[in-house]
Amino acid sequence: MTVRAWAELLRVSALFTVPGDALAGAAATGRRPDRGTALAVGASLCLYEAGMALNDWADRDEDAVDRPHRPIPSGRIAPGAALAAAGALTAAGLGLAARAGRPALAVATGLAATVWAYDLRLKHTPAGPAAMAAARGLDLLLGATATGAAKTTRRGSDTPPGPGVASGPGPGPGPGPGPSPGAGAGAASASAGGPGPGAAEAVRGRVRGALPAAGLLGAHTYAVTAVSRHEAQGGSTTAPLAALAAVTALGAATLRERCGRGPEGPAPAAERGRAAEALRSHPTRATPASTTPRLLLTALTGTYFRTAAGPLVHAALNPSPPLTQRAVGGGIRAMIPLQAALATRAGAAGSGLAVMALAPLARTLARKVSPT
């Protein structure tokens, strides 16, 4: 076993497509990246690589015929070692997610279950692309639930005391009394280490706010996965053409302006109506500060379309295995500008630029280690 063999097994060049999920999820909640976001990125990386190792373990007999150069069929990595790595990486990912809070752990558990179900059972069924799309969407939601988790827990534990909680000094000697048996449910939940009702509602709001971005990223993943099902044998023009149509629609959807939203989800309808009325009554002139994010969003979306669409056109015209694999690789790399565009669309241009900075690294490493 060599470093090169493990790099091929884990497809390390595709790793750069992972951090943008959590950053786009954080941006969708209206919060800045924090410690929870970093933990979500670490958990995502571990679970992604677990899926890569498990994928090759599950496909070892098929790869022995179609792709004998892969690390397991070529004998460079033992099947048991790949399976053990998948288990260890899954445990590490769940451990990191647990440190970001119970909601993040719940999402990470669903993500891990989806990854294992896809590799062991769903990959070669009609449900395969949907499972992969769900995994990418959950990865983005992991970043949304992990970001701001500490602040949410503190806010949820600040539940006003129930009627039975004394608020002043007690009549007897010694320190003031603690909560009586009539204390509110929020205090009991906080003392048990779980989020109070306010924290649970805040988490639900963050998830609702991130669902549109998760849907767009999941739709792209579905299209790329549908193409990847033909990369070993080739021969399909329908899948690349369908993916090309999806990429075009996703680019247009990403460019559309979103309604106003707060850090915990979309703004109420009445609030959006008042904001629209105010804009009609007092129109504002565009300034460089207001047009720059829009220009950046347009540039990032154009990069996404160019990265994904070109190889898909070639694969549709000549559906050979090499060109189909190239289309899949382009679709994987296109996730980076899509994630960057989603973050910028949510108002986090800095996160968008940080995600986009990963693209040259992914492109350089892909020349040495294939992402497919």
pLDDT at 236: 83
HEC per residue, the chain: CCHHHHHHHHCHHHHHHCHHHHHHHHHHCCCCCCHHHHHHHHHHHHHHHHHHHHHHHHCHHHHHHHCCCCCCCCCCCCHHHHHHHHHHHHHHHHHHHHHCCHHHHHHHHHHHHHHHHHHHHHCCCCCHHHHHHHHHHHHHHHHHHHCCHHHHHHHHHCCCCCCCCCCCCCCCCCCCCCCCCCCCHHHHHHHCCCCCHHHHHHHHHHHHHHHHHHHHHHHHHHHHHHHHCCCCCCCCCHHHHHHHHHHHHHHHHHHCCCCCEECCEECCHHHHHHHHHHHHHCCCCCCHHHHHHHHHHHHHHHHHHHHHHHHHHHHHHCCCHHHHHHHHHHHHHCHHHHHHHHHHHCCCHHHHHHHHCHHHHHHHHHCCCCCC
pLDDT at 231: 84
pLDDT at 370: 83
pLDDT at 66: 87
pLDDT truncated to tens, each residue of the chain (372 aa)?
A: 689 999 999 999 999 999 999 999 999 999 999 999 999 999 999 999 999 999 999 999 999 998 899 999 999 999 999 999 999 999 999 999 999 999 999 999 999 999 999 999 999 999 999 999 999 999 999 999 999 886 655 555 444 444 433 334 444 444 444 444 444 444 444 433 455 677 788 888 889 999 999 999 999 999 999 999 888 787 789 999 999 999 999 999 999 855 444 444 444 444 445 545 544 555 545 445 457 789 999 999 999 999 999 999 999 999 999 999 999 999 999 999 999 999 999 999 999 999 999 999 998 988 888 887
pLDDT at 151: 66
Q: What is the pTM of this model?
A: 0.81
pLDDT at 149: 81
CA distance 336 to 222: 16
Cα dihedral: 215, 218, 223, 228 (round 10): 180
pLDDT at 192: 39
